[in-house]
Chain A
Amino acid sequence: MRVGLRLLELARERRARAIFVVGTGKNVGKTTALLAMYEAAWRSGFRVGLASIGPKTGLRLHSNTVFVTARPLLAPSPAVEILKISDIESSAGSLLYARTAHDGLYDLAGPSSASGLRAAIEHVANRSDIVLIDGAIDRLATLASGDGAIVVSCGAAAAKTESEAVCDVATLTARLRVPLFDSRAAAVELEGALTATMAAEFIAAGEERQIVVGDSTQIVMSGRSLSEALARLRVRCRRALDVIATTVCAVAPERSFDPGPFLDAVAGATKLPSFDVFAGREAA
Chain B
Amino acid sequence: MRRLELLDAATAELLGFDWLVNAVAPISPYGSRLFSELVPFRPGNERAAESRARQIAEIAERLPSDQVSAVRSLLEQLPDVVGAVARASLGEPLDDPGFFELRLFCEMVERVDASPAAGALGQRISSEATRTVLEALAPGRREAAGFYLSDAFDAELAAARGAYAQAQAEVDAARGREVERVARELGREEVAGDEFIVMRSDLRGTLPQGVRVVRESATYLLCALEYGESSQAALQRREAAFGRMGALEERVRLHLTSVARAHAAGLGAAARALGELDVSLGAARFSQVHHCTAPVVIREPALTFERARFLPLEAELTVAGRRYVPIDLDLRGAAVLTGPNMGGKSLALQTCGFLALCAAFGLPVPAAQARVGLFDQIAWLGTGLRERSGGLLSSFAREVTALKDILARMAPRLLIFVDEFARTTTPHEGKAIVVALTERLRQRKACALLATHLQGVAAAAGVAHFAVRGLKGIRTLPAARDLKGALDALADSMDYTIAKVGGDEAPQADAIALAALLGLDSEFVEAAYRALSQ
Q: Is the CB of B192 within 8 A of A280?
A: yes
Q: Is the CB of B168 within 8 A of A103?
A: yes
User: Please, which residue of chain A has its CB at the minimum distance from the CB of B161?
Assistant: A102
Whether B396 sits at the interface, judged by CB under 8 Å, is no
Q: Is the CB of A259 within 8 A of B249?
A: no
- Give the contacting residue for A77; candidates B199, B220, B246; CB below 8 A: B246
Whether B286 sits at the interface, judged by CB under 8 Å, is no
- Give the contacting residue for A78; candidates B79, B192, B215, B245; CB below 8 A: B245
- Which B residues are in CB contact (< 8 Å) with A276? 197
- Which A residues are in CB contact (< 8 Å) with B135? none
Q: Is the CB of A79 within 8 A of B148?
A: yes
Complex interface bits, B226-265 against A, C-beta within 8 A gives 1, otherwise 0: 0000000000000000100110011001000000000000
Whether B222 sits at the interface, judged by CB under 8 Å, is yes
Complex interface bits, B180-217 against A, C-beta within 8 A gives 1, otherwise 0: 00000000111111011111010000000000000101
Whether B164 sits at the interface, judged by CB under 8 Å, is yes
- Which A residues are in CB contact (< 8 Å) with B222? 251, 256, 278
Whether B100 sits at the interface, judged by CB under 8 Å, is yes
- Give the contacting residue for B145; candidates A84, A251, A278; CB below 8 A: A84
Interface size class of A (residues with CB under 8 A): 35 or more
Whether B149 sits at the interface, judged by CB under 8 Å, is yes
CA distance A31 to B134 in the complex (A): 41
Q: Is the CB of A85 within 8 A of B79?
A: yes
Inter-chain residue pair count (beta carbon < 8 A): 115
CA distance A188 to B161 in the complex (A): 62
Which of B79, B146, B197, B253 has the most A CB atoms < 10 Å from its CB? B197
- Which A residues are in CB contact (< 8 Å) with B147? 81-82
B27 CB → nearest A CB, Å: 13
Which of A74, A81, A101, A250 has the most B CB atoms < 10 Å from its CB? A81
B31 CB → nearest A CB, Å: 17
Main secondary structure of the interface of B (DSSP, over half): mixed
Q: Is the CB of B95 within 8 A of A74?
A: yes
Whether A16 sits at the interface, judged by CB under 8 Å, is no
B306 CB → nearest A CB, Å: 44
- Give the contacting residue for A74; candidates B96, B142, B199; CB below 8 A: B96
Q: Is the CB of A259 within 8 A of B148?
A: no
- Which A residues are in CB contact (< 8 Å) with B242? 77-78, 104
Number of interface residues of B (CB under 8 A): 42
Stretch of A1-9, A169-177, A218-226, A238-246 lying at the B interface? A1-9
Whether B318 sits at the interface, judged by CB under 8 Å, is no
CA distance A277 to B192 in the complex (A): 7
Q: Is the CB of A279 within 8 A of B97?
A: no
Known contacts A77-B242, A256-B217: does B197 contact A279 (CB below 8 Å)? Answer: yes
- Give the contacting residue for A259; candidates B96, B146, B220; CB below 8 A: B220
Complex interface bits, A249-284 against B, C-beta within 8 A gives 1, otherwise 0: 011000010111000000000000000111110000
A275 CB → nearest B CB, Å: 11
Main secondary structure of the interface of A (DSSP, over half): mixed
- Which B residues are in CB contact (< 8 Å) with A85? 79, 97, 100-101
CA distance A107 to B406 in the complex (A): 60
- Which B residues are in CB contact (< 8 Å) with A32? 192-193
Q: Is the CB of A74 within 8 A of B97?
A: yes
CA distance A259 to B101 in the complex (A): 50
Q: Is the CB of A278 within 8 A of B249?
A: no
- Which A residues are in CB contact (< 8 Å) with B191? 280
Q: Is the CB of A76 within 8 A of B249?
A: yes
Known contacts A1-B190, A80-B96: does B101 contact A258 (CB below 8 Å)? Answer: no
CA distance A102 to B248 in the complex (A): 15
Q: Is the CB of B219 within 8 A of A81?
A: no
User: Please, which residue of chain B has its CB at the minimum distance from the CB of A101?
Assistant: B148
- Which A residues are in CB contact (< 8 Å) with B128? none
Q: Is the CB of B148 within 8 A of A77?
A: no
Whether A17 sits at the interface, judged by CB under 8 Å, is no
User: Please, which residue of chain B has its CB at the minimum distance from the CB of A82?
Assistant: B100
Whether A36 sits at the interface, judged by CB under 8 Å, is yes
Whether B523 sits at the interface, judged by CB under 8 Å, is no
User: Please, which residue of chain A has its CB at the minimum distance from the CB of B193?
Assistant: A32
Complex interface bits, B143-179 against A, C-beta within 8 A gives 1, otherwise 0: 1011111000000000001001100100010000000
CA distance A52 to B398 in the complex (A): 57
A30 CB → nearest B CB, Å: 12
Q: Is the CB of B164 within 8 A of A258?
A: no
Report 23 cross-chain contacts, Cβ distance below 8 Å, ordered by A residue.
Answer: A1-B188, A1-B189, A1-B190, A2-B189, A3-B190, A32-B192, A35-B192, A74-B97, A77-B249, A79-B96, A79-B149, A79-B249, A82-B146, A85-B97, A103-B168, A104-B242, A251-B222, A259-B220, A260-B219, A260-B220, A278-B222, A279-B198, A279-B220
Across the A-B interface, give the 7 residue pairs with the lowest CB-CB distance, nearest first.
Answer: A77-B246, A81-B148, A79-B149, A279-B197, A82-B100, A278-B197, A82-B147
B-to-A contact residues, CB < 8 Å: 79, 95-97, 99-101, 142-143, 145-149, 161, 164-165, 168, 172, 188-193, 195-199, 201, 215, 217, 219-220, 222, 242, 245-246, 249-250, 253
